[in-house]
Amino acid sequence: MHETELNDLSDDADYAASIQQGSPSNSRGDSSRRSGPIELSGAEVVYVKDNVAIHPTQYASERISGRLRLIKQATSLFMTWIPYKANPRGYESTGLGQSSQSRIPERDRNLYTIRAVSFTEIRSIRRHTPPLGWQYIIVVLQTGLAFPPLYFYNGGVREFLATIKQHVPLVRSADDANVFLVNDLQDPLQRSLSSLELPRVVPVSNGTPPLSPFSTDENHGSINETVNDWGHARLRVHDPARDISIQVLEKFSLVTKFARDTTSHLFGEVHNDVFSGNVRRPQIQSAPVIRDNERSDTKQESVDFVPVTPDPFEVDKISLVWGKPRQPPLRFDEWTIFLDSEGRITDSDSLRKRIFYGGVEHDLRKEVWKFLLGFHAYDSTYAEREYLAVTKKLEYETVKCQWKSISAEQAKRFTKFRERRGLIEKDVVRTDRSVSFYDGDDNPNVAILHDILLTYSFYNFDLGYCQGMSDLLAPILFVMRDEAESFWCFVALMERLGPNFNRDQNGMHSQLFALSKLVEILDSPLHNYFKQADCLNYFFCFRWILIQFKREFSYDLIMRMWEVLWTYYLSEHFHLYVCVAILKRYRKKIIGEQMDFDTLLKFINELSGSIELDGILRDAEALCICAGENGAACIPPGTPPSLPLETGSTYSHQEDEVL
Amino acid sequence: MSYAYLFKYIIIGDTGVGKSCLLLQFTDKRFQPVHDLTIGVEFGARMITIDNKPIKLQIWDTAGQESFRSITRSYYRGAAGALLVYDITRRETFNHLASWLEDARQHANANMTIMLIGNKCDLAHRRAVSTEEGEQFAKEHGLIFMEASAKTAQNVEEAFISTAATIYKKIQEGVFDVSNESYGIKVGYGGIPGPSVGRDGSSSQAGGCCS
Ligand SMILES: Nc1nc2c(ncn2[C@@H]2O[C@H](COP(=O)(O)OP(=O)(O)OP(=O)(O)O)[C@@H](O)[C@H]2O)c(=O)[nH]1
Ligand SMILES: [Mg+2]
């Protein structure tokens, strides 16, 4: 690991000495020029770095540059990262910009803003210093969630860490030289105790900072005002629909820390939008129905609904909006109507909508999934598809040959290959063996799973093989019954889900983070409960998201679930609304029994096999419509399964132990 | 089921060493080599008797794959016992023990009892780690040690039960404050039928959660 040595912070005595002699004063001088208001209020900027960026997507023009700062107030240290205004000045000065007009709307830029996170909330900082490309860090919070990577376009990670070290205890993890633990005590015994109670290790006086010093020039943010508005912005009207829309927005304003003017701007639209179909989503033809018989009693409840002191049992408001009844699956005769004489699907939106509401009959899946997954383009003709099938089959064989041709002698000298192969061999025999298609000794389908996965690990060598992939592949092969086709369908699926399997778990973290925001706007009492029970990392939903609920449903049902998700009809992130829908189903039990993290995890695990699919899909649809734009805004661009917008290396440079 | 104590166990170790098989052998007394690989965590439970007291073991079978570690670390909290498993036929699973131990030390209770298990001892002809090496490692790190086989069931009962016995002994010696659940121990109504104690001992009607 030569990169580690190159940038070794703690062992670099020269550097430490230069720090002592006040090289941070550079940054201090830097900051005093720009950040007058901060110093006036007793906070001191001890580190400033310009051109520190977030890459929400793979697309260079969607990168957000900003200013990273460390601010010291009394004995506490805070980190802020404030994006530059829409015209990314610093970004351009580096010559890295692709266009002067960033494609990220102001609102999304704000979504990423890191406003004064205290180091007492930070568990660790992981440093990445790839030999090529920019250095970046990932800041992991005590909750286990992480901020998106912060890229240092002008370097300075080492200085950043050194500065932190001057103000708070920062030790290198014994596990991984690139991980720096914050407030982690040296003594192993102490440490194991403190990891149990870390939030309490730090004195209370280090708690929430006065926020005003940090609302600085770059940004029109005023989170504290938004928070304080909670009480009086709430209107006590008796129209339940209106109540919900307002609650949703109020929660939203808290979640995203929007400036007050943004919020009130949204308020202006809301009466019409949230309930009567969303303006930005015109493809929804029928608005969700409000059930008449529900109306009278829910109206009563909504009057009682007070977000500040919620009664957890009375606020299942969203359930008064119902998703459309599920339809029977798409049949063959209907399917042919979608195809023109040459085999093109001219109205793919209607097709996707049809499948979203009903799924596909099993015999049709082999055909239709290729479109849903993106192996076939909707506007391709029969002839083009036939041609594609032939060329792709050959291409598959070529990639497969790459490992097939490795001799035993060569394999002896190719550890990574042997390890990958060993892992895949071990895992395919532990995948869906209770399904008759894969059961029994020496089942040839198990061997095909193996070959496809190993070929994929060569096709996408950077990502390689990771557990969970076999779960995603098995139903695809079951439907396709063809090795090469299954491979390409899997490739297409992994274009979207690949980041779930990134070594640093970034794709998973961003989805869990988005999920927590969705629950916050769609069910704030549940959110508050999770918060109080220290469950905000949403790790209990890890398996759901990693493999798209594969382990939670029988084969029949998971195929239905997947084809619905793969329409990406209402949202690319419909799966997150499914998560919210399931959690809401069981919220009474969760809150009523005061489940702690362990109990909750076990409870969620054991829901497997007992979740009612159609009802959940309807709820999820209703939630998705209800949340509308606000929901979409909780999900940062680039969160899987969004497609990467630009080709290039999708997968971050993987660590050595990658298989 | 009523119990005098409930102990939380976690099973850790590299992927494929046989953690899930050990659990299944212990809870169901069968060897099923074709069950699914573990993603996240799975749960098992069984009652045992120590010193004539019914003790319930609630066992967390965690995923071994490296990239899941950031998630699986959150499962250590409040475990009273851990089975740290390696595969005697795969040297690298033994080499990784130190890093597992480090995880346990960082994220679990300092008083957690750790049992080191060299699994798959039925495959003696493919052995890659000697018994002595296992013993040595255990001695150096203050662990209890056994070789076992989830396939033949050899030492499986013993491993789970002697871990429990050690924990029980620590309780008798007053090492734990059993009212503090961060030690992974819950006190039940020993032998008396009825609901188990709730999570903080105050609300006993909510006890149905740990079946
Ligand atoms: N011969 C033999 N094989 C075993 C034994 N225990 C497990 N195995 C085999 O090892 C494979 C992996 O066992 P698992 O229990 O699934 O491994 P795990 O540790 O749970 O792996 P992860 O869930 O991936 O972390 C199984 O498919 C079994 O065939 C054993 O005692 N003897
Ligand atoms: Mg397992």
Q: Say whether pLDDT at A32 is over 70.
A: no
Chain B segment 71-90 residues within 8 A of A by beta carbon are 71, 74-75, 77-78
Q: A103: pLDDT confidence band, cut at 50, 70 and 90?
A: low
Chains A and B: how many Cβ contacts under 8 Å?
Answer: 109
C-alpha span between A210 and A223 (Å, rounded): 11
Q: A55: pLDDT confidence band, cut at 50, 70 and 90?
A: confident
3-class SS letters over chain B: CCCCEEEEEEEECCCCCCHHHHHHHHHHCCCCCCCCCCCCEEEEEEEEEECCEEEEEEEEEECCCHHHHHHHHHHCCCCCEEEEEEECCCHHHHHCHHHHHHHHHHHCCCCCEEEEEEECCCCHHHCCCCHHHHHHHHHHHCCEEEECCCCCCCCHHHHHHHHHHHHHHHHHCCCCCCCCHHHCEEECCCCCCCCCCCCCCCCHHHHHHCC
Closest CA to B176 of B167, B189, B164: B167
3-class SS letters over A330-384: ECHHHHHHHECCCCCECCHHHHHHHHHHHCECHHHHHHHHHHHHCCCCCCCCHHH
Nearest CA to ligand 1 atom 22: B15
How many other C-beta atoms lie within 10 A of the C-beta of residue A570?
23
**pLDDT at res. B86:** 98
How does pLDDT run across A142-197, given as a tens digit for each residue? 776 777 788 888 888 989 999 998 889 888 887 778 888 888 755 444 443 333 33
**pLDDT at res. B179:** 76
Mean pLDDT in residue range A379-402: 97
Mean pLDDT in residue range A456-480: 97
Q: Say whether pLDDT at A402 is over 70.
A: yes
* B16/A426 CB distance under 8 A: yes
Residues near A464 by Cβ (< 8 Å), separated by ≥ 6? A420, A457, A654, A658, A659
C-alpha span between A197 and A38 (Å, rounded): 32
Closest CA to A619 of A300, A317, A295, A240: A317
pTM of the model: 0.67
The ligand 1 atom at the shortest distance from the C-alpha of residue A430 is 27
Closest CA to A329 of A606, A591, A127, A613: A613
Residues of B whose CB is below 8 A from A606: 43
3-class SS letters over B140-191: HHCCEEEECCCCCCCCHHHHHHHHHHHHHHHHHCCCCCCCCHHHCEEECCCC
* B39/A468 CB distance under 8 A: yes
Q: A108: pLDDT confidence band, cut at 50, 70 and 90?
A: low
Give the pocket of ligand 1 (CB within 6 Å). A 429-430; B 15-21, 33, 37-38, 63-64, 119-120, 122-123, 149-151
**pLDDT at res. A6:** 36
Q: B189: pLDDT confidence band, cut at 50, 70 and 90?
A: low
With the C-alpha atoms ordered B143, B146, B151, B154, is the resulting torsion angle positive or negative?
negative
How does pLDDT run across A231-277, given as a tens digit for each residue? 333 333 333 443 343 344 333 333 333 333 333 333 333 333 333 33
Query: Which run of H or E residues covers position A608?
Result: none
**pLDDT at res. A495:** 95
Q: A286: pLDDT confidence band, cut at 50, 70 and 90?
A: very low
The answer to whether A255 touches A520, Cβ cutoff 8 Å, is yes
C-alpha span between A594 and A578 (Å, rounded): 23
Q: What is the rounded average pLDDT for all residues in chain B?
A: 88
Q: What is the rounded average pLDDT for all residues in chain A?
A: 75
* B105/A191 CB distance under 8 A: yes
Q: A531: pLDDT confidence band, cut at 50, 70 and 90?
A: very high
More confidently predicted of A637 and A19: A637
Nearest 5 degrees, angle CA A73-CA A74-CA A79? 30
How does pLDDT run across A580-597, given as a tens digit for each residue? 999 999 999 999 999 999
Chain B residue with Cα closest to A439: B34
Mean pLDDT in residue range A44-54: 90
* B106/A429 CB distance under 8 A: no
Q: A646: pLDDT confidence band, cut at 50, 70 and 90?
A: low
Q: What is the ipTM of this complex?
A: 0.88
Q: A120: pLDDT confidence band, cut at 50, 70 and 90?
A: confident
Distance from CA of A506 to the nearest CA of B (A): 11
